[in-house]
C-alpha cells in the first residue's frame, strides 16, 4: 500500500545556510578577538569600573547573539498542503486538536472578541469528536464567564448553520458584517435571519 502524501514539506535553504554560517563564523572570530583583547588588557593594567561594565555588557550581548544564531544556522522553508487534509477527512486518521484561547483582562481583550475567536474555533471544518476548544481566563472575570455561557448557547445554532451551508467565514462578527452575500441553497436566507 502506498503511503499518503505529507501534509507539509520542509525544504532546507542551502544558499541561506552558507551565507548565515559564514557570517556567524566571521562574527564569532570578531567577538573572540574582542574578548581576548579585553582580557589581555586586564592583565597588563588595573581595570577600572567603566571598563569592567563595558566588558560585562559585551559578554552578555555576545551570549545573546550566540543564542540567536540557532534560528539562522539551518534555515528552511515550509510548504503546507491543506487540501490534502480535506481529502483525508473521511479516513478517521486525523489527529485530535486542542485549541487554547487565552484571555486575562476584559478591558484590553473585550469578551465579544474572545467569544468570536472561540466560536470560530468551534465552527472549524474538522470532526467535532476530534476538536476541543478551551478558554483560559487568567483574570478570572465574571463577565468573561457570562460571555462564554452566551457563546455556548449561540454556538448550538452557529456551528450547525456553518456546517449545513458550507460557510467559509466562520467568525460571526466578520460573517455578519459582510455585504456581499451569495445564495447558498434552499432556506439559507431564513436561517441566516434567524441566526442573526
> If pLDDT is split at 50, 70 and 90, which confidence band does 91 have?
low
Q: Which residues are annotated as a binding site?
A: 108-109, 138
Q: Is the pTM of this model over 0.85?
A: no
33 pLDDT more than 90: yes
CA distance 44 to 39: 9
Contact 73, 27 (CB under 8 A): no
Rounded average pLDDT over 151-167: 86
80 pLDDT more than 60: yes
CA distance 131 to 121: 9
Residue extents of the structural domains in the chain: 8-77, 92-195
CA-based nearest residue to 122, from 134, 111, 113: 134
Q: Which residues are annotated as a binding site for UDP-alpha-D-glucose?
A: 108-109, 138
pLDDT (0 to 100) of residue 61? 93
44 pLDDT more than 90: no
> If pLDDT is split at 50, 70 and 90, which confidence band does 189 have?
confident
CA distance 117 to 144: 13
Which neighbouring-strand residues pair with 102?
A: 136
Query: Percent of the chain scored above 70 by pLDDT?
Result: 91
> If pLDDT is split at 50, 70 and 90, which confidence band does 86 have?
low
Rounded average pLDDT over 34-62: 88
Amino acid at each position: 500500500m502506498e503511503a499518503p502524501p505529507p501534509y507539509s514539506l520542509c525544504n532546507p535553504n542551502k544558499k541561506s545556510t552558507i551565507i548565515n554560517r559564514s557570517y556567524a563564523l566571521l562574527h564569532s572570530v570578531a567577538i573572540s578577538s574582542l574578548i581576548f583583547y579585553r582580557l589581555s588588557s586586564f592583565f597588563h593594567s588595573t581595570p577600572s569600573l567603566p571598563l569592567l561594565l563595558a566588558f560585562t555588557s559585551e559578554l552578555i550581548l555576545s551570549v545573546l547573539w550566540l543564542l540567536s544564531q540557532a534560528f539562522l544556522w539551518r534555515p528552511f522553508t515550509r510548504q503546507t498542503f491543506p487540501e490534502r487534509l480535506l481529502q483525508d477527512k473521511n479516513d478517521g486518521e486525523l489527529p485530535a486538536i486542542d485549541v487554547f484561547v487565552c484571555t486575562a483582562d476584559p478591558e484590553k481583550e473585550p469578551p465579544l472578541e474572545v467569544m468570536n475567536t472561540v466560536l470560530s474555533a468551534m465552527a472549524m471544518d474538522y470532526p467535532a469528536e476530534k476538536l476541543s476548544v478551551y478558554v483560559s481566563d487568567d483574570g478570572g472575570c465574571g463577565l468573561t464567564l457570562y460571555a462564554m455561557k452566551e457563546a455556548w448557547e449561540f454556538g448550538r445554532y452557529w456551528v450547525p448553520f456553518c456546517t449545513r451551508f458550507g460557510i467559509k467565514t466562520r467568525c460571526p462578527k466578520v460573517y455578519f458584517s459582510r455585504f456581499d452575500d451569495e445564495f447558498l441553497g434552499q432556506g439559507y436566507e431564513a436561517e441566516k435571519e434567524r441566526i442573526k
